[in-house]
Chain A
């Protein structure tokens, strides 16, 4: 497969054909992710999961993916127990990790950390989130959740709600949706609008983009409502955070006027943006979305670490 040995730093690293191939592969991995079938696709492989920022779903789903495929993980889940606490550079840390493992999954609070890691490592690097920049594997599983429901990505009307400025999942997802010809409706407080240069990039990809700050109007004809958390940890000052905290909330009444087949997605964790009462509506798809993280990451890892022909 063309992905063998590749770094996945940005969603821009993948063509629509490659994304489609990963999603097809991921569908075939669902029984393995559910424990109904077994696979030894990563037998003998060691994957380093280096997380320098808190994570629940991303790290655990990567580790579940590796272990379901017969591989093993080396895990850094706390920067405090590494030599980075002693001042070791990320560059040196990654050089060392690349000599201990077959691939590195990295999450880091600084934008561009995954690109640096890819330069430093002679093993493939997968970006599991770099600051507010990119989270390409989250975008893949978001796309899978949409594709599983609608059977296509082209022509879907997707509302992106919330923190479009700092939300890395939205940045990756918006680029992919633009490439697939989806229509984007941006619904964000003014202070959390999509960065101008990214909006320009989406427009250059031919995306149809509109702004609708009023949530009920935004969801009226939508197929997907993608909700994000306002990420307190990304704000340069507390005052800016307080000015937008709690400025939107999706509850059952917001969805009253929506199409019956509308799905609500959220990369999770949620912090009040989606009322638990939405869980009991047919629109809630975020827990299924969270599960799809495992088959998607299985497909990606097994493609990147696929054996060479005859090897």
Chain B
């Protein structure tokens, strides 16, 4: 059987696998591809068969390792995702994303009258009140948020 190479391997960078089907472009938005090195390649695979979650998306980003804040944001929209750090073509680290108890600086509070939206020298701060599906509660104004994509900081 001939194996078709759909996405080229990367030498250094990050592979985000097991992204919930259809959310790869939102993951790219979180990663912030505009900030990438101009010589870096970004590969996206949409609607890939997965033994674990049925169908999935995959994103590979060359020459970039994700900050904990970006990992938290990915965990919010796709708790099934895994992150592999590639160095010299080898997987040096592989882990599932893990949502912490507090999510800081990742989501804006949807309540426009919340003190976190008034230019105060603070970061947004949400408590995770439920994990599946994820429900957040603003640590300042108590507003609950489930629609994270519209409110990513």
Contacts and interface: CB of A to CB of B under 8 A. Distances in A.
Contact of A112 (B115, B121, B144): B115
Given A116-B115, A116-B122, A131-B113, A111 B141 contact: yes
B116 interface: yes
A111 B121 contact: no
Interface in B13-65: none
**Size range of the interface on A?**
20 to 34
B120 A111 contact: no
A115 B109 CA distance: 14
Interface string B131-153: 00000001111111000000000
B115 A110 contact: yes
A119 B122 contact: yes
Interface string A104-126: 00001111110110010000000
A132 B12 CA distance: 50
Contacts of B119: 89
Given A91-B122, A115-B139, A116-B120, A110 B114 contact: yes
A169 interface: no
Nearest to B138: A112
A113 B111 CA distance: 13
Interface of B is mostly: loop
B142 A131 contact: no
Interface string A72-99: 0000000000000000011110000000
Interface residues of B, number: 18
B76 to A, nearest CB: 18
B142 A134 contact: yes
Contacts of B139: 112, 115
A111 B138 CA distance: 10
A110 B122 contact: no
A133 interface: yes
B140 A115 contact: yes
Interface in B90-121: 109, 111, 113-116, 118-121
Contacts of B118: 90, 110
A200 to B, nearest CB: 8
Contacts of A10: 142
A110 B113 CA distance: 6
A133 B121 contact: no
Given A112-B115, A112-B138, A91 B143 contact: no
15 contacts: A89-B120, A110-B115, A110-B141, A111-B114, A111-B115, A112-B114, A112-B115, A112-B116, A112-B142, A113-B115, A116-B116, A116-B120, A116-B140, A131-B113, A134-B142
